[in-house]
Structure 1
Amino acid sequence: MNKFLTLTLITLAFACKSPEARRPVSVKSGSFIDASVERNKKLNAKEQALIEKFMTQKQDNDYIASESGFWYFYNTKTEIDSLQTPVFGDIVNYNYDVKTLNGNTIYSFDDIKTRNYTIDKEELFTGLREGLKLMKTGETVTFLFPSQKAYGYYGDQNKIGSNTPLMCQVTLNSITKTEDD
């Protein structure tokens, strides 16, 4: 009986081995992501070339490259140093239009109307959100946005198509400081 019990315990010890982890049948190499990165680099270079061509044709403006990846020039610049630019939570009142780089109007000032926006607390396309933070009350600035700073791959699901670089003329009417400041 003792041999039987020993044999049973040995059999159970080897039979109760935990299952081995399954190995994948095939290994993904990330080729889809690599292809997507390459496509985006080419698109970005193409849009950059379009914007640079636009700027060389319109040399009467003093273009400034933003740290965020778009370009702009002042139509009307406020030289008063005491005026501040908006910060997080401030409410700005502004007007803007949207055009293609060819100058074709997509949305006019009348189409969009005057808007209020609470800085960094509401939805707004990236370029305009970052551009408003560069402005002072009374200034009018024309921004040149590559598509990734505008409406990107999806467009606006209305008049702005996929991967469309945009030109927006923006007038900042007022900045209302919040109590947090």
Structure 2
Amino acid sequence: MTKQLTIILALLFLYSCKTPEARKPISVKTGSFIDASVKRNKQLNAKEQAKIQEVMTLKKNNNYIASESGFWYYYNTKAETDTLSTPNFGDIITYNYNIKDLNGALIYSKADIKTQTYAMDQEELFTGLREGLKLMKTGETVTFLFPSQKAYGYYGDQNKIGSNTPLICEVTVNSITQNQSN
């Protein structure tokens, strides 16, 4: 009996010392969600670009400029002097703006938003407006056409601007105060 018990224990010991084997996954995940999301975003972007082109076609008298950042703009009032400069990092900008949808319906008026003060690239501001302010000089008024990814994107502003809403913003820069460390 002890001989049999010894053999059984020896066999258990040999089998229990086996190296662990990697387990195979139960299901294999693919990039299907990401692929579908990319496709959906490309379709949304194409739809917004077409709508923006339609707006620009209807208002041919405006000289639209395509920015390197992916939005369009035109000058309502352009500073003719070269002595004025565009803002740099840390400069303080005071400005007013309004927000409309692509149909021209006012979402927020200049009175709703009031005069804003912004430290260039040091505070939160939606991407398109931040990049647009970098193109402006004191006294200029520019109208920007922002696709939704340059505006408030997927989430909107959680108030009047909905998800994936392209916008038109008319911005006036009142002053640019140079940062003393520049």
Which TM-score applies when normalising by structure 1? 0.91
Structure 1 position 9, deviation (Å): 9.7
Instruction: Name the residue aligned to 1:115.
Output: 116
Instruction: Name the residue aligned to 1:105.
Output: 106
Counterpart Cα distance in 2 of 1:82 and 1:146 = 32
Which runs of 5 or more structure 1 residues have no equivalent in the other structure?
1-7
Cα-to-partner distance string for 1:79-112 (whole Å, 9 max, x where unaligned): 2112111111111000000001111100000000
Give the count of matched residue pairs.
174
Structure 1 position 135, deviation (Å): 0.3
Q: What secondary structure does 2:30 align onto?
A: coil
Q: 1:144 aligned to 2:145?
A: yes
Which runs of 5 or more structure 2 residues have no equivalent in the other structure?
1-8
Instruction: Name the residue aligned to 1:38.
Output: 39
Which TM-score applies when normalising by structure 2? 0.90
Which deviates more from structure 2 when the two are superposed, residues 80-89 or residues 67-76? 80-89
Q: What secondary structure does 1:111 align onto?
A: helix
RMSD: 1.6
Between the aligned residues of both structures, percent identity stands at 71
Which 4+ stretches in 1 moved above 4 angstroms? 8-14
Q: How does 1:165-176 map to 2 (within 5 A)?
A: 165-176=166-177
Letter in 2 for 1:81: D
Instruction: Name the residue aligned to 1:81.
Output: 82
Instruction: Name the residue aligned to 1:180.
Output: 181
Structure 1 position 179, deviation (Å): 1.9
Structure 1 position 54, deviation (Å): 0.3
